[in-house]
Structure formats: C-alpha cells, structure tokens
Amino acid sequence: MEGSFDHWTSIFLLVTGTGFYLFFILLSNKNVKKSNIPIAFVVLLFSLTIFQYVLFWTKHNQSFPYLDWIPSVTYFSVGPLLYFYFIKIFNKDYSKHFVWHFLPVMGIMIPQIMVWIYHLTDEWFWGELGRNILGWRSILFDPYLQMIHMTVYSGILWWTIFQRKKKIENETEQVLLNWSSYLAQLNVLFIGALLSYYILVNFPFFNRQWDYMICLTMSFSIYAIGFFVFKQPAIFNGELLQQFFLPKKVEVNSLKDSTVEIFYQKLLVHLEREKPFFDAELRLTSLADQLGYSSHLLSQIINERSGKNFNQFINDFRLDEAEKLLKETHDLSIKDIYYQVGFNNKATFYQVFKKKHQNTPSNFRKLYFQKSNKRVKNP
C-alpha cells in the first residue's frame, strides 16, 4: 500500500529538485570549467538517491522497483568522481586506466541493464551466466563494502592533498589547497552521516526522524560541495568566504597612505603593460602572485583605491580594451572582441558595456564610425 507525503518527505522532494537545478547550472553555466563536471554528476547521483529515499519513505518505491540500485551507484561513484576532480584542479595527469576506478559501478549497472532488457522482452539473455552475474552483483549492495570503498577514497583524497602541500610555491596554490581541504572535509561529513545510519539503525530508539536528520546532513555536505564549486571564481577572487580561503597577512590600515599608493600604482602599471586581464581565468590569487602581494592585501588595495571589487575593477580594464577594438576594427565580430579582451560570456560583457555607455556594443561602434565619417567629409 502506498504511503502519503508529510512535511519532511515534501522537503526532501524540494531538496531533490534543488539538486537537479544545481546539476543543470553546473553544466550549463559558461563560467564553470569542464573540470567541474565530475562534481555535477556527484550532485545528480545524490539527488536521484534522495528521490529514491522519498519513494521508500512513502512506499511509492513499489511503483518504481527499478530504482533501488541508485544509492549503491552513488556511494561507489562519489569517491572516484571527487578524486577525478582533484586530479583536474591540481593539473595532474591521469591515465586511460582511470575508468577502472568505476569498476564497482559497472558491476551494478551491467546486470541492471540485463534486468531491464528482460522485463522489456520477457527473454533472459546469457542463460546461467546471466543469473550468476546477478548473484555477484548482490555483493556490491553490501553497505559495509560501500563504506569501506568510500573510506578508502577519502584517504586517497587526503593523501593527494598532503602530497600537494609539499609543493606549494605561491599563494594561488595555497588557496587551492585550502579549497580542496574544505571539500575533503565535507566528504568526510557525508561518509560520517551515512555510517551513523548503519550504526544507529540497530538501536531501538532509531526512528524515521533520525533517518531524516541523517539524510539532511548528507544533503548539506553534497550540495555544499556543489555550491562551492559553482562559486569557485568568487571564492578565489576574495568575494565570498574570504576569511576561510584567503590567507590574511597584511592589513592596509597598518600601511601608510603613501605605501598603499605605491602598491596601487605598481598594480596599474602591471595591468597596462602585461594585460593579464586578457586571461578569462584570471583570479585575485593569481594576480597577487604576479605582483608579489598577498591576495588579502591586493583585495583591500583595490577596494580602497578604486571603490570596486576585484571583478568590477578587472572588467573596467577589459572594457577599455574592448572599446579600442570597437573603434579600430570593422571586421572583428563582437563575440571575438569580448573573448579577446577576457570576457568569457556575452551576458557579462553586454551588462558592463550598457552600464557605462547606455548602448549596445554594435550601436556604439556604428555611431562612432558615423561620427568619424562626418569629420572626414566636413573637416
């Protein structure tokens, strides 16, 4: 008999929808790097797991009996996907053999596909071998095997961080290390919450409310990972949670005004000469490394002297270069221009351009050349 939805199960349906939305924006947002794709799939798999839990709690799983494999796939996937993400952000090489990290997932999915084919065609393939494969698959549903697998990969993540710690050469790498440590801690929270379920479920006081709280903790840890990855550019630019990720070394207030002005002029000269803002992936931490400042100091100097945050400050330089190209070229497309000067999407470029000129880039260029032609004809 199917059950009904209560407040908690309705909340978890909302949590599921939030996860699907986060997965979508992680993949569709142009500001998100390809290296973040593994995290997007961690979020997706966990959202499907929450959905399967809701079906179980409300007894609707009887209407969807072929989704019981999802939690096991999720628990065997989280570790390898996070490890793959760490490899990408640390710019480490990975071999084609990395696919073997997902061997347990394949051990669940291949027999599951066989089951689907059987129910669609009423024909069982591979005879006795197929039945043996299904028997082997049942081993992978053992929760303790899943916990061991997740714990091993958690250890691999921390070992990767420890090895990276020995090779820190600049502040960008230090921030990246801090960043990866927080993600690894959230993964530990996720594993701990799941482990607590397998322990507490054996006690008589355990009830549905305990299950909800554990699931809520797991949801927080996974979605926090997804949120941090989505907000990575803002974090690395010192615009979000600066106190957690950016090292605090020198306060602007402790420096003389003349010293701050010298630092600021050095920044302006560097930007004019080297034009690092042409790199769409420029971050506060990497610019600070180029100048020999701490990211915290650079952020304060920019805020105090320009009255803007890092993104606004850098986009002004990009906008100046875009204006020059609009005035100097006829055949260069608007898209080529904003990519060339460091904007990585049309929306941001048009937003800052219209805010300054109250006009679109194409109209700005058209009006400029019209005025130029009039001056030539009527000197």
Under-50 pLDDT residues of the chain? 1, 250
CA distance 177 to 187: 15
The token pair that represents 259 in the structure block: 């010293």
Residues 42 and 225: beta-carbon distance below 8 Å: yes
Tell me the HSE value of 379 on the side-chain side, using a 13 A CA sphere: 1
Residues 168 and 289: beta-carbon distance below 8 Å: no
Q: What secondary structure does DSSP assign to 250-300, as a single string?
A: --GGGS-HHHHHHHHHHHHHHHHHH-GGGSTT--HHHHHHHHT--HHHHHH
Residues 75 and 31: beta-carbon distance below 8 Å: no
Residues 71 and 107: beta-carbon distance below 8 Å: no
Per-residue DSSP letter, 241 = S
3-state secondary structure string across 294-327: CHHHHHHHHHHHHCCCHHHHHHHHHHHHHHHHHH
The token pair that represents 322 in the structure block: 């875009």
* Domains, the chain, ordered by start: 7-230 (1.20.1070), 238-307 (no CATH), 318-379 (1.10.10.60)
The token pair that represents 59 in the structure block: 């007894």
Contacts of 310 (CB under 8 A, 6+ apart): 237, 238, 239, 284, 299, 302
The pLDDT of residue 1: 45
CA distance 175 to 79: 22
Residues 132 and 111: beta-carbon distance below 8 Å: no
**Count of other CB atoms within 10 angstroms of residue 67:** 15
User: What separation in angstroms does the CA of 272 have from each of 233, 265, 268, 278, 302?
Assistant: 23, 11, 6, 11, 15
Residues 187 and 221: beta-carbon distance below 8 Å: yes
Q: What percent helix, strand, coil does the chain show, rounded to 5?
A: 80, 0, 20
CA distance 149 to 151: 6
User: In terms of C-beta distances under 8 Å and separation of at least 24 residues, what long-range contacts does 207-213 make, across chains too?
Assistant: 208/8, 208/57, 209/8, 211/57, 212/8, 212/12
The pLDDT of residue 155: 95
For tokens 């979605």, what's the residue? 223
